[in-house]
Amino acid sequence: MASQTKTKENNTIVVGIDFSTASDNALDHAVHIADKFNNELLLLYVYEESGLRTIFGGGVEKDILMDTISKKLDEKVSDIKREYPELRVDKLIKEGKIWKQIIKTADSVGGDSIFIGFHGESAYEQVMGSTTSRVLKAATAPVVIVKELVSTTHYKKIVLPIDLTKESRQKVTWAINLAKKFDAEIHVIMEIEKDEFLKHKVKGSLHQVETMLAKAGVKFQSKILDDQEYPEHFGKDIIQYTQEIDADLVLIMTQKETGVMDFFMGSFAREVIRGTSKTPIMCINPKETGSIFWATESF
């Protein structure tokens, strides 16, 4: 933002809570973001009738279950307020399909981002086939996916994959905002193209991004991934590079992202989400919504 003035619109981070380790990790990341960007936090628990008894055991009355959930949310709110007394933190319990209520809530409060936990490889197909994939497809706000193995909440190395689509370069603004707040270094990566015309376009796109980052005054490195060192498709190459530098965050889009026009739930993005077990993934919808993530600052 151009000033430190706090605005109500598009200032709330919605965090999906289910009391799992991944959910707790997602909440930790959301708290640190909220502290840096002066956001409000909304802890959202969505229940389905069958799911309640699975979590808390059968034979328990619904009102007792709801009271238990409410108290557990209150504990999380109290823990956050104890460490970050200036943060505004609210809780909300809703009934219905989890992904629908997450989207509906984020839209109703003008949420600028959604944080959700990802429950690991064993539940991968089930989760990606339901809540996570549906939230990613329907959300207009950026969605940050945090896994069970993620423990750190700092962002010092941000991987920014760029391709030849215009949508891909929309991630640059988000990366700059994060880099400024966390004093992070942005790692811009692109795939080499064999065609000479496309190879020239790759270098031109990379130069444009480098110019934006230099103008913003953030630290960055850039690298074109060659076929010898990175022989796989772009998804796997992103994973390889992310692991090599021990990155703290990867930015991808929720729509077409690569030269072969893969869509988000296609092989490219599935590979990135599945393969980066220790790195949160920020998924940005390229549609023009008229809002900017985490309050854009003037560069």
- Say what the pLDDT of residue 184 is: 96
Q: Which residue has the higher pLDDT, 88 or 127?
A: 88
Number of domains observed in the structure of the chain: 2
Within a domain: 292: no
Residues 116 and 212 in one domain: no
Residues 137 and 64 in one domain: yes
pLDDT, one tens digit per residue, over 33-61 is: 999 999 999 999 998 766 555 555 555 57
Residues 192 and 261 in one domain: yes
CB 199, CB 192: distance < 8 Å: yes
CB 156, CB 185: distance < 8 Å: yes
Q: pTM above the 0.85 mark?
A: no
DSSP type of residue 103: H
CATH number of domain containing 190: 3.40.50.620
CB 146, CB 178: distance < 8 Å: no
Within a domain: 291: no
Asked if pLDDT for residue 280 goes beyond 60, the answer is yes
The whole-number average pLDDT for the span 268-290 is 72
- Say what the pLDDT of residue 127 is: 44
Residues 130 and 20 in one domain: yes
| Domain termination residue (choose one: 80, 114, 147) | 147
Residues 66 and 125 in one domain: yes
Asked if pLDDT for residue 203 goes beyond 60, the answer is yes
What is the dihedral sign for C-alpha 131, 137, 141, 142? positive
pLDDT, one tens digit per residue, over 206-258 is: 899 999 999 999 999 999 998 889 988 888 899 999 999 999 999 987 654 44
Within a domain: 299: no
Within a domain: 161: yes
Asked if pLDDT for residue 71 goes beyond 90, the answer is yes
Residues 209 and 106 in one domain: no
Within a domain: 1: no
pLDDT, one tens digit per residue, over 109-160 is: 988 899 998 865 544 444 444 688 888 888 888 899 988 776 666 889 999 9
Work out the percent of the chain whose per-residue pLDDT is above 90: 44
Residues 236 and 266 in one domain: yes
Host domain of residue 40: 12-147
Residues 136 and 161 in one domain: no
